[in-house]
Amino acid sequence: MNRFLGFVKKEFLHIFRDYRTLIILFGIPIAQILIFGFAVSTDIKNAGVAFLDLSKDEITQKLSDKIISSGFFKKTDNLLHYSDIDLIFKNGKTKAVIVFEENFGSNLMKDGKASVSIIADGSEPNVATLVTNYTMAIIIDFNRELNGPAGNNSLLIQPEVKMFYNPELKSHFMFVPGVITLILILICALMTSVTITREKEFGTMEVLLVSPLKPVQIILGKVTPYFLLSFINVILILVMSWLVFGLPVKGSITLLLLECMLYILMSLSLGILISTVSKTMQQAIFISFIGLMLPTILLSGFIFPIENMPKIYDYVSMILPPRYFITIIKSIMIKGTGILFVWKGTLILLLMTILFIAISVRKFKIRLE
C-alpha cells in the first residue's frame, strides 16, 4: 500500500510542477464549456430570407412583415424572377426564399386557398430544416389569425417546402465537405510541423544549419513532397465521396482542385509556422492536432452555423482559415458557383498563406538559439 501511495504522490508532484499539464486539466474544460455553451446553438438568429413576391398585395405584405418581425430572420432581398433564386443562394447570405404565387391574395379570398413556397438552401441541411420549420410555424400562425378567433377554417394557406441543391436533404452534403476541410488542415499542418521538429530533436538540424542550405530551401524542401502527395490525397477523397456518398461536384472541378491545392499550401505553411515555435515533436503534435481540431470543428461553420453564434465568435472565426475554405468548397461542390462568388475567400486564403510563409522564413533560426 505504501508503495502505491508513494507512487501516487509522485504523480501528483509531476502534474503540479508542469504548468502545461495544468492548462490541459483545467484550461481546456473551461474553454470547452464556454465554446460549447455559446457556439453550439440549434436556434436561428438573423437567418437571411429573401422574398419572391409575384403577387405584391396586402396579404403577402402582411405575411412578409410577420416573418421578418419574428426576430429569427432578416430580409436580404426582394427578388423579381425565379432565375434570381440560384444567384442569391450562391451569394451565400440567404438561407431561404419565400415565393408567393401570382394573385396570392385574390386566390385566397376567391378560392379559399393560396400557396406559398419555402425554398431553402439545401447545402446546409440543418439550417435548412430549422428555417423551414420556423417559417412554417409563422405561416400557420398567420393563417390562424386570418381565420379569426372563431376558429372558422375557411382560408387555407398551403406552404410547400422545396430544397434547393440538395433535394433529399442528405446530411453528408454538410458533413463531407466539412470533414475534407478538417482532415486536410490537420494532416498537412501536422506533417510539416512534425518533420521539422523531428530534425531538431534528433540533432540532424544542427548539421543542416551548418551546411550551405538556405532556410527557404529547407522549408520548401520539406513542403514539396507533402504538397504533391496531398494532391493525390484530395483526388482520392473527392472520388470516394462521389462513389460512396453520391456527392457530385456541381461546379468546375478544376476550380475545386485549385482551391484545394491553395488550402493545402496554406495548411502546410501553417505547419511550418507551428514548427518554428515548437521545440519538440510532442509540442508540435499538440499544437497542430489539438490546437487546430476544436476550433475547426466548432467555429468554422462546419456543423454549427456561424450566424447563430454570438458576434464575438464571428470575429474569432474570421482568423480561422477553415471558415473560408468550407464556404468555398460547399459553394463549388453543391451550389456550383464559379470564381465570381468565391474570390473573396480565395484571396483571404492566399494572403494567409503568404503571411505564414513570410513569418516562418523570418522566424526560422539560422542559429541554435
Partner 1 sequence: MAQGCNGLNIKKSGNKNMNDKVIYVHNLVKKFGSFVANDNLNFEVYGGEIFGFLGANGAGKTTTIRILSGLSSPTSGEVLVAGFDAYKQPEMIKKNIGYMCQKFSLYEDLTVKENIMLYGGIYGMKLALIKKRVHELLERLNFQEYENRIISDLPLGLRQKLAFSVAVLHEPKIVFLDEPTGGVDPITRRQFWEMIYETASRGITVFVTTHYMDEAEYCDRISIMSEGKIVALDTPSALKKENEAETVEEVFIKIARPARN
Partner 2 sequence: MVPVIESNGVYKSFGKTRALNDISFTVNESEIFGFIGPDGAGKTTLFRIITTLLIPDNGEIKVLGMNSISGFKELRKNIGYMPGRFSLYQDLSVEENLNFYATVFGTTVKENYDLISDIYSHIEPFKKRLAGKLSGGMKQKLALSCALIHKPKILVLDEPTTGVDAVSRLEFWIMLEKLKKHNITIIVSTPYMDEAMRCNRVALIQSGKILAIDRPDKIKEGFTRKLFKVKATDKFKLITSLRKYPETNTAWLFGDSVHLTLKEDKIDDSLSIFLRNEGITNPVVEEAGAGIEDRFLELMEKGAKV
Return the number of the residue (182 or 218) whose C-beta is nearest partner 2.
Answer: 218
Query: What character string, x for contact with partner 2 (CB under 8 A) and - otherwise, covers 347-366?
Result: -------------------x
Q: How far apart are CA 10 and CA 8, in angstroms?
A: 5
Minimum gap (Å) between residue 288 Cβ and partner 2: 21
Q: Which of 40, 207, 236, 358 binds partner 2 (CB under 8 A)?
A: 207
Asked whether 37 and 85 are in contact (CB, 8 A), the reply is no
Residue 213's binding partner among partner 2, partner 1, none (Cβ under 5 to 8 angstroms by kind) is partner 2
Minimum gap (Å) between residue 268 Cβ and partner 2: 21
118 closest CA partner among 109, 129, 102? 129
Position 152 contacts partner 1 (CB under 8 A): no
Q: How far apart are CA 327 and CA 174, in angstroms?
A: 11
Q: How far apart are CA 345 and CA 326, in angstroms?
A: 10
Return the number of the residue (16 or 38) whose C-beta is nearest partner 1.
Answer: 16
DSSP lists the bridge partners of residue 121 as 164
Residues 6+ apart with CB under 8 A from 339: 255, 346
Return the number of the residue (210 or 239) whose C-beta is nearest partner 2.
Answer: 210
H/E stretch holding 349: helix 339-363
Return the number of the residue (9 or 214) whose C-beta is nearest partner 1.
Answer: 9
Nearest-Å Rg of the Cα atoms of the chain is 26
Q: Residue 228: how many CA atoms within 13 Å on its side-chain side?
A: 5
Residue 150's binding partner among partner 1, partner 2, none (Cβ under 5 to 8 angstroms by kind) is none
Q: How far apart are CA 222 and CA 317, in angstroms?
A: 29
DSSP lists the bridge partners of residue 78 as 51
Q: How far apart are CA 158 and CA 99, in angstroms?
A: 12
Minimum gap (Å) between residue 282 Cβ and partner 1: 16
C-alpha cell of residue 178: 466539412
Q: How far apart are CA 219 and CA 361, in angstroms?
A: 8
Minimum gap (Å) between residue 164 Cβ and partner 1: 60
Residue 2's binding partner among partner 2, partner 1, none (Cβ under 5 to 8 angstroms by kind) is partner 1
Return the number of the residue (4 or 315) whose C-beta is nearest partner 1.
Answer: 4
Q: Which of 6, 37, 151, 212 binds partner 1 (CB under 8 A)?
A: 6
Q: Which of 29, 154, 206, 240 binds partner 2 (CB under 8 A)?
A: 206
Position 213 contacts partner 2 (CB under 8 A): yes
Place of cell 463531407: 176
Query: What character string, x for contact with partner 2 (CB under 8 A) and - otherwise, covers 165-204?
Result: -------------------------------------xxx
Residue 367's binding partner among partner 1, partner 2, none (Cβ under 5 to 8 angstroms by kind) is partner 2
Return the number of the residue (5 or 232) whose C-beta is nearest partner 1.
Answer: 5
Q: How far apart are CA 161 and CA 132, in angstroms?
A: 7
Phi, psi of 52 (to 5 degrees): -110, 90
Q: Which of 17, 151, 212, 340 binds partner 2 (CB under 8 A)?
A: 212
Minimum gap (Å) between residue 11 Cβ and partner 1: 10
Asked whether 93 and 50 are in contact (CB, 8 A), the reply is no
Number of residues that bind partner 2 (CB under 8 A): 15
Q: How far apart are CA 30 and CA 312, in angstroms?
A: 17
Residue 236's binding partner among partner 1, partner 2, none (Cβ under 5 to 8 angstroms by kind) is none
Return the number of the residue (10 or 110) whose C-beta is nearest partner 1.
Answer: 10
Query: What character string, x for contact with partner 1 (CB under 8 A) and - otherwise, covers 13-32?
Result: xx--xx--------------
222 closest CA partner among 188, 257, 181, 186? 188
What is the binding site for partner 2 (CB under 8 A)? Answer: 202-204, 206-213, 366-369
What is the binding site for partner 1 (CB under 8 A)? Answer: 2-3, 5-7, 9-10, 13-14, 17-18
